[in-house]
Amino acid sequence: MLAVAEKIETERKIHAIETSELHKKNFGQYFTPYAIAEFMASLFPVSNNDLNILDPGTGIGILSCALLNRIKKENWNNPSIKLSAYDIDTEVLENLTQNLIEQKKNFTDFDFKIHNADFLEKTSFEYSFGKNEEFTHVIMNPPYKKILSKSSAREFCRYFGLETVNLYSAFMGAAIAQLKEKGYLVAIIPRSFCNGLYYKPFREFILKNCSIKQIHLFESRKDAFKDESVLQENIIILLQKGTSQRDVKISYSNGADFESLIEKYYDFREIVNPFDKEKYINIPLPSCLLSDDFFDCQFVSLKETGISVSTGAVVDFRAKSFIRKNPDENTVPLLYPVHFKNYRTNWPKESKKPNAILLTEETKTMLVPTGNYVTVKRFSTKEEKKRIVASLVSDGDINASNFAFENHLNVFHSDKKGIQKELAFGLIVWLNSTFLDNQFRKFSGHTQVNATDLRNLPFPSKEKLIELGKKLEKYDGWNQELFDSIARECLNEKSAAANF
C-alpha cells in the first residue's frame, strides 16, 4: 500500500508541474496531496456494512485510494464495496483506471465504475426521476469554478433544491442529496461558503440536511495546495446526513503533515449563532492563537448603534471618464485605500491611483458631505497581521464640501452623512481591536472584507463606543497596543481561558 501511495503522489506532482494553468482553471482542477487525502479518509467512522462510495471530481483517484487503503489496512469487515468515480477530464482516465484496478487486488468484493460525464448533469437527471444511487460515503475535492445564474449548472442544482454560485458548493449539494440517511461526507473545500450573502442558501442547505461533525483548519491559506496557484483558504469538513446536531470537533494543524494536531469540541451555538439570520459558520481558532481580550459587556448589532456601513459608490472602471489624476477647480476629492496610512487620511497622494473625480450631474449621487467617516479596506488576506484595519476621515481632512469613496473601501456612515466625532473615534478603537479581528477570522477565510460581514460583527452600544472615542481623542500616536488597552479599560476585560 505504501508503494501505491507513493505512486499516486508522484503522479499528482507530475500533473501539478506539467498541466497548464489554463487547463486546471477550465476544469476547476486541483489534486489533493496524498497526506491530506489520508487525513480526510481517517475522519470516517469504521463501518462493517456494505459501502457505496462516491468520489465526484475524482481526478487520478487520490481520495478514493486513500480511503480504500485505510479500509484494507484496518481490516474493515465489509461484505461488499462499490465506488462511483466521476471526472470529465479525459486526460486523467488512464491513471485513474490503473489506480483503481490496483485497488481491486486488495478486496474480495470490490467493484468500481468510472463515469466520464458531468456529475451534476448526470445525477440531477437521475435524481429527478428517482433513479439515482444512494451513497453511504462521499469523499471529495470538488472543482472550484464560478457558475453563472443562467448556466446549465445552476439548473442542475435546482433539481436538488439548491441555489448556489460555484461548482464546489454545487457538487457538495448534489452529493448531500444523494447520501443515504446517516451517511457521511468528507470534503476539502474553500472556506468562502462560511459567510456572505451568495452562499447563504448553501449554508441553509447543509444545516437543513446534515449535522456538522468536524471542521479542520490549516494555519496557512496556501499549505493545502502548495504545488498549485490556489488563493482560497481551504478547510476539511465532515458531515453526517439526517442526524441531530451535537457538539462540533474543531481540529487544527500547522501544515499538511498534521503534526502538532490540536482538537477541541465546541457547542454548536458557538459555530452557528441561533439568532443569526445569515447562518454564518464561525470556526473558533485554537486558544494559543487568540488574544486574551474578552469583554464583559452587552454587544449589539451595528444597526442598533445608529451607524451604517456600505461600499464606496465610485466603481472606478465604470466612472473612468470622470476620474482625474490630480484635483482641480472642477473636481472633488476621491479616496482610495491608498489614501489611508497609520489609521488616518493622507490625501492627496502621489501614487498610481487618481485623487479626484469630476463634479457633474452624473457623479453627484456618488458624493458624501464632508464629515467624520470610518473606512475599512475591502480586500485583505489571512496571512496579513490584521484582517480589519480601520482608518478615520475627520471633518478637517478634506478641504471641500463634498467628496467620494472608491468601491474598494467599506465606509461607516450615518444615513450617508458623517458620524458624530466621538462615535467615529470609538469605531476606530473597536474595529482595530485584536478581539474583533479574531471574531472576524472565525467566519472569514477568503480575501474580501464585505460590508455584510462587518454588519454581522458584534459592537458595543452607542454609549460605549462614545466612551471609547473620548479616550482615543486624548492620544495623537495611534497603535495596536493603544486600541487594545482602551478597549480593555472601557469594556471590562475578563479571562479568555474559560471561553476558548
How far, in Å, are 216, 346, 441 from residue 385 at the CA level?
Answer: 21, 22, 11
How far, in Å, are 67, 185, 197, 236, 331 from residue 40 at the CA level?
Answer: 8, 10, 28, 7, 57
**Whole-number percent of the chain with pLDDT over 70:** 89
CA 426/CA 420 separation, integer angstroms: 10
Terminal-residue alpha carbon distance, the chain: 40
Of 132, 134, 130, 111, nearest in space to 120 by CA: 132
How far, in Å, are 67, 218, 386 from residue 235 at the CA level?
Answer: 18, 7, 20
Q: For 425-454, what is the mean pLDDT?
A: 87
CA 111/CA 98 separation, integer angstroms: 14
Structural domains of the chain, ranges and CATH numbers in brackets: 2-288 (3.40.50.150), 303-491 (3.90.220.20)
pLDDT at site 297: 74
Q: For 16-36, what is the mean pLDDT?
A: 75
What SS3 class is residue 303? Answer: helix
How far, in Å, are 158, 180, 427 from residue 123 at the CA level?
Answer: 12, 15, 50
What SS3 class is residue 142? Answer: coil
Q: Is the pLDDT of residue 177 over 60?
A: yes
In the DSSP assignment, the letter for residue 341 is E
Q: What is the pLDDT of residues 287-301, one digit of tens each?
A: 544 444 556 678 888
**Whole-number percent of the chain with pLDDT over 90:** 68
How far, in Å, are 38, 61, 69, 85, 232 from residue 57 at the CA level?
Answer: 17, 9, 19, 7, 18
Q: What is the pLDDT of residues 100-114, one digit of tens each?
A: 999 999 999 999 999
pTM of this structure = 0.72
Q: Name the residue type at position 133.
A: E
pLDDT at site 293: 55
What SS3 class is residue 304? Answer: helix
CA 270/CA 266 separation, integer angstroms: 7
Backbone angles phi, psi at 358, to 5 degrees: -60, 145
CA quadruple 312, 316, 322, 327: dihedral positive or negative? positive
Q: How confident is the model at residue 495 (pLDDT cuts 50, 70, 90)?
A: very low
Of 143-152, 426-435, 460-469, minimum mean pLDDT range: 143-152
